[in-house]
Structure 1
Amino acid sequence: MWPRIDGMRAMEFGTSGELRAWLTGLVLSGSKTATAGLLALDYHAEGEAVEHVGERLAVVDSLGAKVAEIEIAKVELTSFAEVPWEFAEAEGEGFRSIDHWRETHRHYWAGQGYEVDDSTTVVCLWFRLAGQEGRGGR
């Protein structure tokens, strides 16, 4: 089960430490407006439902402190092989191609102990920054 903050589910980008700091920085700058999860690993194994349009999530840093809120704008479940370039580009992480996105994500999820194949269901989330802590919101 995911942590809850202020009645919202918490969103942790990447793994704790440098990766999370970088990804959270991209969210706060507005460069990152999408993120991917695996249906089996991030939802079924955690006992969580997939986000819905309009849902707000608390973005947390590596210490678990809330740094912002995002609002879900679009949710799409698709196979790993069918994730579109539009989505990969919206992740804002500098991917050069959809193949580069796939290679990077396969490596990341393998590091989490989960092997991805072309039929693995990916949860593609598009979001907007809805407010930042200490900045009076947006």
Structure 2
Amino acid sequence: MKDDPAVQSSLEQPPEDGGGGEEVTVSTVADRLPPIDRAAARRMWDEYIAATGVVPEGNQQYEVDYFGDSPQLADALLKEVTEGDKRATASLMDEYTDPEDPLPTIGGHWVACDSTGQPAVVLRTMALALSTFDDVDADFAAAEAEDDRSLDSWRREHEKYWRRTREAAGEHWSPEDTRTPGREVIQERFTVVWPAELADGEPEQEVNPST
């Protein structure tokens, strides 16, 4: 799952008491995301290829994924892409231990799904960079287009998110872990390429990852 936590922070806030005297229970456990409809994702991919003539280089395959780790977060962040200018996401090298879950690649494509597991957009990765948590800069934080877009907000919300999700995976995590080679933050920038009515203009030049 692509990791973008700032919206989740607001989703987790309890609603104000409406004065009716009823006790409101707010769950702190994220709802489970449903299985992805991979047949529908394949149809969207085939439509993209047929309409644009794009043929991925070599044996490069597309990935299918959600933003975040809950239905609410998946939809909120997807909306930032389709109706806003969110064009970046961050993840941890620690999250790619399964051979079936390959690392992002420059020029690679992925299909982002909504909270029901249905494909919504095809994205193309345009730039990748590895860094420590503390070396993520304000420009990248702004490109993620979440919360107030500040670097302080990015650090605060991503630290909370990754501590929570890594704990759910049975691991302790702290920002200092990203100083270890092979455990860095992956900064990913992307462009929207399909459907046509949502696609960005001419893509920027692809940028090789820095380490």
State the TM-score, normalized to the length of structure 2.
0.57
- In structure 2, list runs of 5 or more residues that go unmatched: 1-35, 43-60, 179-183, 200-211
Of 57, 64, 67 in structure 2, the residue corresponding to residue 13 of structure 1 is: 67
CA RMSD of aligned residues (A): 2.1
| Bigger strand fraction | 1
Residue 69 (1) aligns with residue 122 (2): yes
Determine the C-alpha separation between the residues in 1 that align with 2:99 and 2:84: 28
- Bigger drift between 67-76 and 8-17 goes to 8-17
Measured after TM superposition, the shift of residue 108 of structure 1 is 0.9
| Bigger helix fraction | 2
Measured after TM superposition, the shift of residue 123 of structure 1 is 0.6
Determine the C-alpha separation between the residues in 2 that align with 1:124 and 1:71: 14
State the TM-score, normalized to the length of structure 1.
0.84
After superposition, residues 1-138 of structure 1 pair within 5 angstroms as 5-6=41-42, 8-41=62-95, 43-45=96-98, 47-112=100-165, 113=167, 115-120=173-178, 121-132=184-195, 138=199
Corresponding residue SS for 1:21: helix
Structure 1 segments of 4+ aligned residues over 4 angstroms from their partners: none
Determine the C-alpha separation between the residues in 2 that align with 1:77 and 1:90: 16
Judged with a 3 Å threshold, the aligned counterparts in structure 2 of structure 1 residues 46 and 105 are, in CA distance, closer, same or farther, namely farther
- In structure 1, list runs of 5 or more residues that go unmatched: none
Determine the C-alpha separation between the residues in 2 that align with 1:137 and 1:99: 30
Instruction: Determine which structure has greater relative contact order: mean sequence separation of CA pairs < 8 Å that are 6+ residues apart, divided by chain length.
Output: 1
- Looking at CA atoms only, which structure, 1 or 2, has the larger radius of gyration? 2
Judged with a 3 Å threshold, the aligned counterparts in structure 2 of structure 1 residues 28 and 45 are, in CA distance, closer, same or farther, namely same
**Paired positions, count:** 133
